[in-house]
Amino acid sequence: MMRAPRSTWFVLLLTAATCSGVATAGGHSSLAVVEGTVLEVGKQPGEGGLELVTVRLSAERPDPHELELLLAPQSVLEETGFTVQQGDRLKARIFTTDEGPAAVHKVLNLSQNSMVRLRTLRRIPLWDGSGMWQGGPGLGGQGGHHGPKHGQQGGSGPPR
């Protein structure tokens, strides 16, 4: 019986760990994709003491349930051109949590065909302490940002 070289096993293990989409070491959290209809849009205190927009979602995937999502400050959503309202269909990649609202990594508004990435894979918000967008191109001509809106040409793509 022939055995694969150690380097092959290492690559296989590394690939399996990378492709799983779930990491717990080094500050990563487990990620999940949810999809559903917005029941309510609200606000609550969040990262850095800023008031963040929340969404109560009637999620159908991966299983039917209600879920509260933590988005970003209203100023960030406005600068990136991302809007959400009751009745919109969303698909979001979230950091799983046992309590409180789930922080959103990135979200696709299927009803309005818009997408934005709000946090890094290490849960770091893509805005500064005053609620100003720091994650990439915003609306042209505002705050020195140039180029297309985030989520258009060259964006990070919809949640998978």
Beta bridge pairs of residue 54: 42, 70
Query: Can you tell me whether residue 71 is helix, strand or coil?
Result: strand
Beta bridge pairs of residue 57: 38, 67
**Tens-digit pLDDT profile for residues 45-100:** 887 789 999 999 999 876 789 999 999 999 999 999 999 999 999 999 999 988 88
Longest dimension (CA), the chain: 65
Model-level pTM? 0.68
Pick the CATH number of 27-139 from 3.40.50.2300, 3.40.50.720, 2.40.50.140, 3.40.50.1980: 2.40.50.140
Cα 90 to Cα 36: distance, rounded to the nearest angstrom? 6
Domain ranges of the chain: 27-139
Poorest-pLDDT segment among 28-37, 63-72, 98-107, 144-153: 144-153
- Count CB atoms within 10 A of the CB of residue 134: 14
Cα 147 to Cα 136: distance, rounded to the nearest angstrom? 9
Contact between 116 and 151 under an 8 Å Cβ cutoff? The reply is: yes
Question: CA separation (Å) from 35 to 50, 69, 86, 135?
Answer: 26, 11, 14, 24
Quick one: 159 exposed, middle or buried, by C-beta within 10 A (0-12, 13-18, 19+)? buried
